[in-house]
């Protein structure tokens, strides 16, 4: 039973435009959400996170929005750059802070077209 869902396996966006990656979750105990970025042959790298007490967190070109009632979060990248082409994983942790591990989605492959 998949608790974190990324329903778009891939997304193609033109350079300079906005990229919007979506993530849905089913476990109401999740209270902290993260996005990771992964290049081929490398480990995932932490990108941005958001606590359930917030509905928005911004870091430079990256903004994460959380809609708790809909159990939905999204990552906005604006403007999109060629180096943003990667696989993006949504992850979540339940109360306890994630010490017992994060639950990841399947990932979305973002392709930035020149």
Partner 1 sequence: DAGITQSPRHKVTETGTPVTLRCHQTENHRYMYWYRQDPGHGLRLIHYSYGVKDTDKGEVSDGYSVSRSKTEDFLLTLESATSSQTSVYFCAISDFQGPYGYTFGSGTRLTVV
- Binding residues for partner 1, per CB under 8 A? 6, 32, 34, 36, 41-46, 49, 89, 91, 93, 96-107
Structure tokens at 77: 């990248």
The residue (of 53 and 99) whose beta carbon lies closer to partner 1 is: 99
Smallest distance, partner 1 to C-beta of residue 74, A = 17
Smallest distance, partner 1 to C-beta of residue 36, A = 8
d(CA 58, CA 94): 22
d(CA 75, CA 78): 10
Write out the DSSP string of 42-77: S--EEEEEEETT-SEEEETTEEEEEETTTTEEEEEE
Q: What's the start-to-end Cα distance of the chain, in Å?
A: 38
Smallest distance, partner 1 to C-beta of residue 92, A = 8
The residue (of 65 and 104) whose beta carbon lies closer to partner 1 is: 104
The residue (of 83 and 114) whose beta carbon lies closer to partner 1 is: 83
């Amino acid at each position: 039973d998949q608790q974190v869902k990324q329903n778009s396996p891939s997304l193609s966006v033109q350079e300079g435009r906005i990229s919007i990656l979506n993530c849905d979750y089913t476990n109401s105990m999740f209270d902290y959400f993260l996005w990771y970025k992964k290049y081929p042959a490398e480990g995932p790298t932490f990108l941005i996170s958001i606590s359930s007490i917030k509905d928005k967190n911004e870091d430079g070109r990256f903004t994460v929005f959380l809609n708790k009632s809909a159990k939905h979060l999204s990552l906005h990248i604006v403007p999109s750059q060629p180096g943003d082409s990667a696989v993006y994983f949504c992850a979540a942790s339940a109360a306890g802070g994630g010490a017992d591990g994060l639950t990841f989605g399947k990932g979305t492959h973002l392709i930035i077209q020149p």
